[in-house]
Structure formats: structure tokens, C-alpha cells
Amino acid sequence: MKMFGLVVSALLLFSAPAVTVEFKGQNIDGQRLRAKAYYYATGGVYKVQVIFNKQQATIFFEDGNKITIQLNNSVITDSNNIEGFGKLGQYRVTNGLSIGLVYDNDWINASGSQLQQSNALEGLWRISLD
């Protein structure tokens, strides 16, 4: 009986459809596209190139830096409003875990009497395809 459960679980795992980023019914994973990226925390707009991969987008800046963000949706309905979350200096390990070299000021200032409040929009990006 354990073997049967293992076989059924394996079949369900392997038959699950792969999540890809779609626009107008077409898979756009792996394509390098020109775009603009808007960072909500600062209001900055950047000319970038973006590559989509599953439910993530890697944004390549003109200065050579890049960031990978987790998309809110894998189906793009508006090419001027593709939102996702990711912080500079952070690298996503799993959907709920990222690691990096950027520290959080709240942890550093915990011993002081004044804590800095984090920006609620920090990490939120909007991509507009050209």
C-alpha cells in the first residue's frame, strides 16, 4: 500500500504543469525584452532589459546590476503593469525565503530608542514592456 501511494504521488508530481510566464497566450520565458522598471520605494524609473522565468523576472540594469523579483501573476494581462517583489542585494532561495547582504535598519537600531520605520513599498517593482 505504501508503494501505491508513492507511485501515485510521483505521477501527480511529474504530471503537474510547469508554471510559465504568459502574455497574449504565448510563453515568454527566457526571452530578453526591453522594458522600464519603476521602483515604488524611491519613485525611480530605469531603462532595463528583463528575462522572465517561471514566476520570476530578472531585471538587468544599464550599469550591469540585476535583481530577480517574484511576480505577482504568471499571466500578464497588461504589458505596462507587471508587478513583483524583490529587494536589491537579496537572492531568492524559495518562494518564502531570500538571503543577501543587505541588512534591515530595524535590526541594527533595535538597541536605540528610535527605530526607523521601513517603507511599506520597499521591494515592490512595476515593469512596463517596450
Paired strand residues for 90: 100
Residues 51-106 have pLDDT tens digits of 999 999 999 999 999 999 999 999 999 999 999 998 765 555 555 555 555 545 44
Paired strand residues for 75: 22
This prediction's pTM: 0.67
124's enclosing H/E stretch is strand 124-129
Rounded to whole angstroms, the Cα distance separating 98 from 76 reads 24
**19: confidence class by pLDDT, cuts 50, 70, 90:** confident
Which amino acid type is present at position 77? T
Which amino acid type is present at position 80? N
Contact between 78 and 67 (Cβ < 8 Å): no
Residues 107-116 have pLDDT tens digits of 444 445 444 4
